[in-house]
Structure 1
Amino acid sequence: MFNYIKFSLFHLLTLPFIIGITLGGSWMALGLVAILLLVVFGDLLLGDDRAEPAYTKPWLLNGLVYSSLLFIVLIVGALLWSVATTDLFGYGQLVQQITGYDVLAARDANQWWHFVPVWLGAGLLIAMVGTVPAHELTHRTADQLAMLTGRWLLAFSFDGTFAIEHVYGHHRYVGTVCDPATAPRGRTVYRHILYSTVYGNRSAWRIECQRLARLHKPVFSIYNRVLRGVTMSLLLCIMAAILAGWAGLLLFCASALLAKAVLEVVNYIEHYGIERALNEPVRPYHSWNSTKRVSSWASFNLTRHSHHHARAQLPFYQLKAYPNAPDLPTGYLGSMLLALLPPLWFRLMTPKLAQWDQQYSKSKPAKH
C-alpha cells in the first residue's frame, strides 16, 4: 500500500500551508519552510527511488491525481481568507469554536511581511498541486474528463496554453532550437522564464490556429482552446476579487504568476543545454533525469523525465527510473534552487554537459 500512499505527499504539504495561514504571524512561513525542508533535505537524506512496482489498483493513483483539483481550491481558499475583510465561509469562527484560538484576531494582527513566505509557498504549491497533476492529465488527450480537469488546474497558474504547447510542441521539438522550453547553454534561468513564457504562448497560439484551420473553425470563437484557457483564468480572478477584494485579487495573481515561473524553472532544469537535431528521434538522453526519492513522490514521477519523453503517453506510475540516463545534480527542488544562482549552476552543469557531449552527441543541432 505504501507504493500508492507515497504519491500523496503533495496533499500532505498542503496541510502546513493552511495551518500556518490559520495561526497567523510568523507561523505564516510554515508552509514554505515545510516544503523546503521536506523536499530538499528529504532528497539529500533519503537517497534514490528506483522502485518499479506493478500497480494493480491504478484507480487509486488516478484518484490522487484528480483530487488535486480539490486541494488547489483549498490552497487558494486559504490564501483569499488570509486577506479578506470578512470571515470567508465562516472558517475563522469554526476553528475558534473547535480550538478556542482567536483566528480572526491573529489574522488582523498580520503585517505585510508575513505574506512574503505565504506568496512563495502558494506559488510552489500551486505548481506542485496544480501544474504537475495537470501535466499528467493533459497527456491523456483521448480522455475528456482528464483534459477538462487538467485545464482547470492550469487555469490557477494562468497557463492554459501549456496543454497545447507542451503536448504538441515541446514533445515534438524538445532539445532543438525550435523548442522554447529547452534552454541553450549559457542562458540564465531568469532570462529563460521570460523567453519560454513569451515564445511558448506564441507557439501554442500558432498550433491552435493551425488546428482550427484544419477544422474550418474561426479563430476567435468558443472552439479556440487558448481563449477558453484565458477565460477560465479570468473567471478565477473575478472569483478572487468577489471573495477577497483587490487584496485577494492581487495576492492570487501574484501567486499564479509565481507558479507559472516555477514551471519554467522546472523546464529549465529538465532540458538545460541538451541538443538534438531536428531529424533525430527523441531519446531518453534528451532530458535530465532524477531518481531522488522525495522529488519523485511529490511530483508523480515527473523526475523520471527521460522515460517520459521517450514514451509520453505512459501514465506516471509506469515510468522507469532509467538510472543510466543523464542526471541532475540533486532532486528537482534542490536543482531549481541551484539554478537560481547562475554561476553555481553553470559550474555544476558544465562538466555534466561535457560528459553528455562525449556519450550522446552525434551531430550538431539543425539550425532553425
Structure 2
Amino acid sequence: MKLLHYLKYFLFHLIGLLALAALLAGGSWISAGFAFIVTLYIAGDALSGDDISTPQLAWGGLLTFQLWLALPLLAAVVFASVWSVCDADLLGVGAWLGALTGYDLLAARAATTLPHHVSGVLLTGLMIGLIGTITGHELTHRTWDPISLLVGRWLLAFSFDTVFAIEHVYGHHRYVSTEQDPATAPRGRNVYWHVLVSTVRGNLSAWEIEARRLQRQGHSVWSPYNAVIRGHLMSVALVALAWLAGGPLVAGYFVLCGLWGKALLEVVNYMEHYGMVRDPATPVQPRHSWNTNRRLSSWTMFNLTRHSHHHAQGEVPYQDLKPYPDAPMMVGGYLTTIVVAMIPPLWHRLMTPKVLAWDRQYASADERLLAARANRASGMAAFQQQGAGDGI
C-alpha cells in the first residue's frame, strides 16, 4: 500500500502525456483530449470521494525528483502545441513519429481547423497551469534548495509569472486573507476582474519586495541581481524560441497559451481565499483558506488541495500536508471549483451562503467585525438579512 502513495503523485505525468499525444495527433483529437481531461477531473473528483490519508513517506528525494521531471514534461507539451501550428516539421518530429507509429501526423496537422487550434490553446494553458504553475508553486517554496528554485522558476516562466516565486512566498503567505494581499478576493468581486487586479497588484508587490531585498544587499534594482527582471527575461526567451520556430503568429499562439495558464492561476487564487478576512496582527490559521480533500485533485496537484495546512505551515512538503477535514471547504474539487468560479452568478449563489457560514462558524470576534464591514461593502449584508428572515 505504501507504493500506491508514491505512485499516486506520478498521475500528473500521465495527464501530461495524454495532452502531449492529443496535441501531436491533431484535429479532433486535440478537442477530445481537452474535453476528456476536464471531464476526468470533474467526474473523478465527484465519484472518487475524499482522500484524508496521511502516510509517512520516507523517500522524500524521489517525490522531489518527480517534481523536477515536470520541466521536461511541460517543455514537451508546449513544444508539441507550438509544433501543431507551425508550417515546418520542427526537428523532424512529425516524420519520425509517423514512421514509428504509422499515423500521418503531418497530414493530421495540416487538416486541423481553427476550432481545434482554440482547443489547443485551452489544453496547453491548462497543462501550463497543472504541470507548470502547481509544480512551480511547490518547488519555489523550497527556498533552501537552489535546484528546486531554478526548476520552479522555469516552470513559472511558461505563464510569464516568475514573480510568483517572490510575491507568493514573501507577500501572499504573510498577508493572506487581508486587504494587503493581492491574491485574496474580497467579497462580491467578479473573478474576471480579480484576474486583472491580482495580476497587476501581484507584479507591483513582487517588485517592491525585490527592491527591498536588493537595497538591504546594496544592489541597484536595475541590475542583474534583480530576480524580477531575470524572471521576465526567462519568459521572453521562451517567446523568442516560439518566434524562431514559426514566426510572429506562432509566438502569438504561445503567448495566448501562457496567458491562459496565468489566468488559471489567478482563478485558483480567487477561489482559495475568496471572502476570507483576517486581522494582519494575528497569525494565519487553517480557517483562512478554502480547503478540499477530493481524491483526484489531491493526487494530481500535490495536495495543493490541502490549502489550509499549507498556509498554516508553508514550508511543509506536499506529501506531509494534512487534510484538515474540519477546515472551510470549497464547493468541489479544484477543476470543478474553477468552472463554477468562471460562472459568476453560479459562484455567488453557492459561495455567499458559505462565506456567511464562515463568519458564524470560523471567524474570531475581531474577524466578525471585519466581515460585517465587508458584507456591507459587497451587498452581502442584504442577503444575510434575507436569509435570517427566511430562517436560513
TM-score, length of structure 2 as denominator length: 0.92
Report the Cα distance in structure 2 between the residues aligned to 1:17 and 1:78, rounded to whole angstroms: 9
Aligned to 2:66: 64
What are the within-5 Å matches in structure 2 for residues 27-38 of structure 1?
27-38=29-40
* 1:332 partner amino acid: Y
Moved more, 111-120 or 10-19: 10-19
Moved more, 21-30 or 218-227: 21-30
Report the Cα distance in structure 1 between the residues aligned to 2:105 and 2:11, rounded to whole angstroms: 27
State the Cα distance separating 1:46 from its structure 2 match: 0.3
State the Cα distance separating 1:16 from its structure 2 match: 2.3
Aligned to 1:343: 345
**In structure 2, the residue corresponding to 1:202 is in which secondary structure?**
helix
Aligned to 2:237: 235
Contact 2:129-2:262 at 8 Å conserved across structures:
yes
State the Cα distance separating 1:278 from its structure 2 match: 1.2
Aligned to 1:212: 214
* 1:207 partner amino acid: I
Report the Cα distance in structure 1 between the residues aligned to 2:318 and 2:122, rounded to whole angstroms: 27
* 2:120 partner amino acid: V
Report the Cα distance in structure 1 between the residues aligned to 2:307 and 2:259, rounded to whole angstroms: 24
Aligned: 1:285 with 2:287: yes
Aligned to 1:45: 47
Report the Cα distance in structure 1 between the residues aligned to 2:98 and 2:77, rounded to whole angstroms: 20
Match among 106, 110, 114 for residue 104 of structure 1: 106
**In structure 1, the residue corresponding to 2:247 is in which secondary structure?**
helix
Contact 1:338-1:344 at 8 Å conserved across structures:
yes
Contact 2:34-2:123 at 8 Å conserved across structures:
yes
State the Cα distance separating 1:277 from its structure 2 match: 0.8
1:2-59 deviations in whole A, cap 9, x for unaligned? 1111111221112222222222211111331122111111000001000101101112
Match among 19, 22, 34 for residue 20 of structure 1: 22
Contact 1:285-1:325 at 8 Å conserved across structures:
yes
Contact 2:24-2:81 at 8 Å conserved across structures:
no
Can you give the 5+ residue segments of structure 1 that lack an aligned partner in the other structure?
Answer: none
Report the Cα distance in structure 2 between the residues aligned to 1:42 and 1:260, rounded to whole angstroms: 24
Report the Cα distance in structure 1 between the residues aligned to 2:12 and 2:211, rounded to whole angstroms: 36
CA RMSD, Structure 1 to Structure 2 (Å): 1.2
Aligned: 1:224 with 2:223: no
1:298-348 deviations in whole A, cap 9, x for unaligned? 110000000000000000000000000000010011001001111111111
Aligned to 1:159: 161
Aligned to 2:328: 326
* 1:81 partner amino acid: W
Aligned to 2:264: 262
State the Cα distance separating 1:280 from its structure 2 match: 1.3
Contact 1:300-1:316 at 8 Å conserved across structures:
yes
Contact 1:183-1:271 at 8 Å conserved across structures:
yes
1:241-288 deviations in whole A, cap 9, x for unaligned? 111222221111000000000000000010000000111110000000
State the Cα distance separating 1:100 from its structure 2 match: 1.8
* 2:46 partner amino acid: L
* 1:273 partner amino acid: G
Report the Cα distance in structure 2 between the residues aligned to 1:100 and 1:318, rounded to whole angstroms: 45
Contact 1:123-1:255 at 8 Å conserved across structures:
yes
TM-score, length of structure 1 as denominator length: 0.98
Report the Cα distance in structure 2 between the residues aligned to 1:328 and 1:164, rounded to whole angstroms: 26
Contact 1:31-1:118 at 8 Å conserved across structures:
no
Contact 1:290-1:303 at 8 Å conserved across structures:
yes
**In structure 2, the residue corresponding to 1:171 is in which secondary structure?**
helix
Match among 89, 93, 96 for residue 94 of structure 1: 96
Moved more, 345-354 or 290-299: 345-354
Report the Cα distance in structure 2 between the residues aligned to 1:105 and 1:350, rounded to whole angstroms: 51
Report the Cα distance in structure 1 between the residues aligned to 2:93 and 2:181, rounded to whole angstroms: 45
Identity %: 50
* 1:304 partner amino acid: R
Q: Which runs of 4+ in 1 moved over 2 A?
A: 364-367
Aligned to 2:172: 170
State the Cα distance separating 1:93 from its structure 2 match: 0.9
* 1:322 partner amino acid: Y
Can you give the 5+ residue segments of structure 2 that lack an aligned partner in the other structure?
Answer: 374-392
Aligned to 2:273: 271
**In structure 2, the residue corresponding to 1:345 is in which secondary structure?**
helix
Contact 2:133-2:156 at 8 Å conserved across structures:
yes
Aligned to 1:355: 357
1:206-240 deviations in whole A, cap 9, x for unaligned? 11111111111011010000000011000111111
* 2:41 partner amino acid: V
Report the Cα distance in structure 2 between the residues aligned to 1:28 and 1:148, rounded to whole angstroms: 31
Report the Cα distance in structure 1 between the residues aligned to 2:118 and 2:138, rounded to whole angstroms: 30
* 1:327 partner amino acid: M
**In structure 2, the residue corresponding to 1:168 is in which secondary structure?**
helix
Aligned to 2:81: 79
Report the Cα distance in structure 2 between the residues aligned to 1:24 and 1:92, rounded to whole angstroms: 11
